[in-house]
Amino acid sequence: MKSLLLRLLLAGDYVSGEAISEQLHVSRTAVWKQINALKEQGYMIQSTTNKGYKLLQAPDTVKAHDIEARVQTKTFGKEVIAYESVSSTQPKAHQAATNGSQEGTLIVANEQTEGRGRLGREWVVEKGQSISMSLILRPTIPLTRAPQLTLVAAVAVARAIEKVAPLECEIKWPNDLMVNGKKLVGILTEMAADPDQLHYVIVGMGINCHQGNNDFHHEVKDVATSIYAESKQKINRSTLIAEVMNEFEWLYESYVDDGFQAIKTLWEARAISLQQRVIARTPKGTISGFACGITDEGQLRLREENGQEHLIYSADIELDTTS
């Protein structure tokens, strides 16, 4: 009920208590109680005789109804499981998926104390500073195509950020969004599957939002950034999460129906690690060469000086400035 009420208020105009009770099929007393609950959360709601209620200001909270009220989707973000603090949203998403949560279910946390990125790296989120979320997907695609969802997610998050902040995001293969050479977003894709069947995919997304330049740990302060650090603007996190869901859903549907080729051009338009010399640090060793592009499967095509070409599935990429 709270998400439906908030959706009415987010429309921007006055809405009468009578109209709310009729649309939500509840009593005027129930409406009044929910309005007060939103006020206690931090929503500034004006009440005017003969006009009703009007939303004046929204808090930067990431509760389930904050997000569900803002999404404009069929399934993505329609069901939100929100936590104040978790060790990581990824295992929570795996648990929810195992228990049968539908595709599009979103797990989000205001604080993440033991999050991890690709290759097991730590991704810790201070309370109220960033977005930590994991999305459950159940695509009917071959196992070999699942890693491409990282690239689809990167395009979706980049487009969403640019809707709420005056920034231009670039993508560093395979899973980082960069602004002015610093990391703004990390994406981690995991899946559960049998040898011949994909059960579900979890797409974890971490977005730095409100940190100042001095808020980052000394180990990453020179390579990490946030929306606020780059734009000097504070965005509403639930609004951004909703925009990510809006963008991700249509891109995902296009990908499932038409393959990665439908998304590849959008991804390549933002890529910063292509058509130049790079160093790729893979689990099997380090390779230096020319990044020719990506395949239709999302693999990085890396050509060494001797002409040998490698298809890279997973690696840390940095520009080779030695030549």
Which parts are annotated binding residues for biotin? Answer: 112, 116-118, 183
Cβ atoms 202, 184 nearer than 8 A: no
Rounded CA Rg of the chain: 21
User: Chain-centre distance of CA 127, in angstroms?
Assistant: 17
Q: Which residues are known binding-site members?
A: 112, 116-118, 183
Host H or E run for residue 154: helix 148-164
3-class SS of residue 170: strand
Among 131, 157, 132, CA closest to 210: 131
Neighbouring residues of 240: CB distance < 8 A, sequence distance ≥ 6: 131, 160, 161, 164, 207, 209
3-class SS of residue 293: strand
Q: How far apart are CA 50 and CA 148, in angstroms?
A: 54
Match 């040998």 to its residue by tokens: 308
Neighbouring residues of 38: CB distance < 8 A, sequence distance ≥ 6: 2, 5, 6, 9, 45
Q: How far apart are CA 323 and CA 305, in angstroms?
A: 12
